[in-house]
Homo-oligomer: A and B are copies of this chain.
Amino acid sequence: MRTPTTSDGPAQGTALARSQAARRRRVLDAALRLAERGGFDAVQMRDVATEANVALGTVYRYFTSKERLLLEAMVEEIEALAARLEARPPVGTTPADRIVEVLSRGTASLQRHPEVTAAMVRAFGAADEADVVRRVSDIMTGIITGVMHDGPPTPRDLAVARTLQQVWLSSLIGWVGGVDDPARVVVDLETATQLLLGDGAIDGARAER
């Protein structure tokens, strides 16, 4: 009656655990494959099950809802993104530069699979899945605090990072909802970063290099 992910059954490494991990992966991959072309609507639970060679009930044993499925996929994606960014850190000299760089690269990465991102963001916007949603937000915030400066982030850093994360998400929602064009996401993030970090003036024409 418990989710298989809840650890306490057979120790990890056992055959059961392995086959379960494999199933879970197949389901996630199937969802991603379907999302790739067609976004949220194309991820139909029956198709996910079929594509993953698994019974529909099994999908629901691993993921209690479609939104949760997509959100857990989102956690993985954002985590991978965070890892890539950490592996090749931004080169900017000021915190603002580094933040903008990291957010731009992250957004570009998301936009490389627009339908997948659309599916995930839509799940995020509607979800009644507080815990996973929080996990996603936290990772996004972490991406930002991670490039601010050495040492632990100050309370102000945290506030700035949280604000930027919120702008990031709103922008993504605007983009996948068709309200704004994709480029707008990055523009919004640059603008917000500048405003928050009190860089230069914003007067229609951005000034620096």
Contacts and interface: CB of A to CB of B under 8 A. Distances in A.
Interface in A125-169: 125-130, 133-134, 137, 154-156, 159-160, 162-163, 165-167, 169
A126 B133 contact: no
A117 interface: no
Contact of A167 (B127, B154, B166): B166
B188 A163 contact: yes
A159 B159 CA distance: 19
Interface stretch (A42-50, A57-65, A105-113, A194-202): A194-202
Interface string A69-92: 000000000000000000000000
| Assembly stoichiometry (copies) | 2
A192 interface: yes
A166 B177 contact: no
B128 A125 contact: no
A191 interface: yes
A124 B129 CA distance: 17
B128 A126 contact: no
A26 B24 CA distance: 47
Given A166-B166, A196-B195, A122 B126 contact: yes
16 contacts: A125-B126, A127-B177, A128-B177, A129-B177, A130-B177, A137-B174, A156-B195, A156-B201, A159-B191, A159-B192, A163-B191, A163-B192, A165-B170, A167-B167, A169-B170, A196-B196
